[in-house]
Amino acid sequence: MEFTTLGKTGLRVSVMGLGCGGHSRLGLSQGKTEDEAAGVVRAALDLGLNYIDTAEVYGTEGAVGKGIAGVKREDLVISTKKGLKRENGRLSTTSTDLLEGLEASLKRLNTDYIDVYNLHGLHHQDYDYAVTELVPTLQKAREQGKIRHIGVTEAFVQEPRHEMLEKAVKDDFWEVMMVGFNLVNQTARNSVFPQTQAKQIGVQLMFAVRRALKNFETLNEALEELARQGEIDRAEFDSEKPLGFLLEGGKAGSLTEAAYRFCRYEPGVDVVLVGTGSVDHLKANAEALLKPPLPAGDVAKLKQLFARVTDFTGN
Ligand SMILES: NC(=O)c1ccc[n+]([C@@H]2O[C@H](COP(=O)([O-])OP(=O)(O)OC[C@H]3O[C@@H](n4cnc5c(N)ncnc54)[C@H](OP(=O)(O)O)[C@@H]3O)[C@@H](O)[C@H]2O)c1
């Protein structure tokens, strides 16, 4: 595995992080038991990963707690999140809810501190409330040593143009941000990454593959939708193997490999999260992320093909 520094946190983190949410939730969504899900966590650690992202709402903190049992705590970087309640169209999570959530996460993870504690899926309409009501509580928890660093994750499905993060990057208290980005929706390149780099905010990336980039069939469905919305020119894509050029001559072994490699080498990205319930996929993705960047010509072509896309997530 290769390592990098997570922005101003100074933490040394593997370039691949284990994402314990998404459609797989370590396989729990496909019927795996918690012990089997813990096995996926152990397999990730065996591959040399030290970065794990989970959340109270995923139902995977318990599996992470089991999977990391016996590992030296200082050898791990754990990110988890407080789920946010919205009522009548606005955020209603209180400081007390936040502290209760934090204590419960510590218990499930069987640890006495969390490296990166995030507000989960904050909407731009709720940003000011979160800053006034919740950020001081996070800062206090950091002073008490219960959390080491303060993070925020965007609600990418609702905000594929990063409206909340565009506000957040102007403030100085966020140490880590989770950003949606993939080879189709590259909007964060202009609206988020220059600012996070300037402020040394660590970036964990989500949605590199999600559903749309899993295979050519799901990609084709997504492209049909994008063409209907006028965001791409369908004639520029092969009808059977859209983006097949990425694989020509063995340049990339699969669409998922190309998708993860594309994200890893985007300037400003620190950790690429990989969500999976499959140890085989985990191994393939670790190999993919350690390969060199895609050829510069292919990256340029992807930028041109998807230049007008703003509302795609791949969900
Ligand atoms: N707002 C938020 O805070 C937020 C929102 C979404 C996600 N996240 C975090 O970001 C992480 C990453 O997002 P994600 O889970 O959607 O991850 P992703 O890595 O973009 O996509 C994962 C999907 O791709 C499949 N996959 C992975 N490797 C594959 C391979 N080699 N071949 C074929 N299919 C493959 C997985 O299915 P298999 O299980 O079959 O491998 C899974 O369905 C989440 O796990 C979570 O930790 C945070």
Segments making up each domain of the chain, as ranges: 3-214+267-281
Quick one: which of 114, 41, 26, 36 has its CA closest to 73? Answer: 114
Let me know: does 288 contact 261? Beta carbons within 8 Å.
Answer: yes
Let me know: does 37 contact 26? Beta carbons within 8 Å.
Answer: yes
Q: What is the atom index within ligand 1 of the atom nearest the CA of 182? A: 20
Secondary structure class of 281 (helix, strand, coil): helix
- For residue 40 and ligand 1, the question of a CB distance below 6 A is answered with no
Question: What's the token pair of residue 71?
Answer: 């590992």
Cα–Cα distance, 293 to 244 (Å, whole number): 17
Secondary structure class of 133 (helix, strand, coil): helix
Rounded to the nearest angstrom, the distance between the alpha carbon of 301 and the centre of ligand 1 is 25
Rounded to the nearest angstrom, the distance between the alpha carbon of 275 and the centre of ligand 1 is 3
- For residue 210 and ligand 1, the question of a CB distance below 6 A is answered with yes
The residue to mutate among 126, 158, 206, 315, having the most atoms of ligand 1 within 8 angstroms of its beta carbon, is 206
184-230: per-residue pLDDT in tens?
A: 999 999 999 999 999 999 999 999 999 999 999 999 999 999 999 99
Let me know: does 56 contact 81? Beta carbons within 8 Å.
Answer: yes
- For residue 125 and ligand 1, the question of a CB distance below 6 A is answered with no
DSSP 216: H
Distance of CA 94 to the CA centre of its chain: 25
| pLDDT confidence of residue 157 | 98
Confidence bin at 240 (pLDDT 50/70/90): confident
- For residue 285 and ligand 1, the question of a CB distance below 6 A is answered with yes
Which residues make Cβ contacts (< 8 Å) with residue 178, sequence separation at least 6? 53, 118, 151, 152, 153, 154, 203, 204, 205, 206, 273
Catalytic residue among 58, 117, 127, 260, which? 58
Identify the residue whose C-alpha is closest to ligand 1 atom 21: 210
Let me know: does 268 contact 196? Beta carbons within 8 Å.
Answer: yes
Question: What's the token pair of residue 283?
Answer: 């191994």
For 304, list phi and psi in degrees, rounded to 5.
Answer: -70, -45
How does the average pLDDT of the chain come out, rounded? 97
21-68: per-residue pLDDT in tens?
A: 999 999 999 999 999 999 999 999 999 999 999 999 999 999 999 999
| pLDDT confidence of residue 71 | 98
Q: Which helix (H) or strand (E) is 37 found in, with range?
A: helix 34-46
Low-confidence winner among 85-89, 157-161, 204-208, 237-241 (lowest mean pLDDT): 237-241
- For residue 314 and ligand 1, the question of a CB distance below 6 A is answered with no
- The yes-or-no verdict on residue 239 having pLDDT over 90 is no
Q: Confirm whether 58 is a catalytic residue.
A: yes
Cα–Cα distance, 148 to 270 (Å, whole number): 18
pTM assigned to the model: 0.97
Helix 279-289 vs helix 34-46: crossing angle, to nearest 10: 30
Task: Return the sign of the alpha-carbon dihedral for residues 230, 215, 210, 149.
Answer: negative
Confidence bin at 130 (pLDDT 50/70/90): very high
The residue to mutate among 281, 312, 313, having the most atoms of ligand 1 within 8 angstroms of its beta carbon, is 281
- For residue 257 and ligand 1, the question of a CB distance below 6 A is answered with no
Secondary structure class of 192 (helix, strand, coil): coil
Let me know: does 66 contact 35? Beta carbons within 8 Å.
Answer: yes
**In whole angstroms, how far apart are CA 169 and each of 59, 78, 133, 268, 290?**
29, 22, 18, 13, 29
Question: What's the token pair of residue 94?
Answer: 């209180």
CATH fold of 3-214+267-281 reads TIM Barrel (3.20.20)
- For residue 206 and ligand 1, the question of a CB distance below 6 A is answered with yes
- The yes-or-no verdict on residue 238 having pLDDT over 90 is no
- For residue 21 and ligand 1, the question of a CB distance below 6 A is answered with yes
- The yes-or-no verdict on residue 141 having pLDDT over 90 is yes
Q: What is the atom index within ligand 1 of the atom nearest the CA of 207? A: 20
| pLDDT confidence of residue 168 | 98
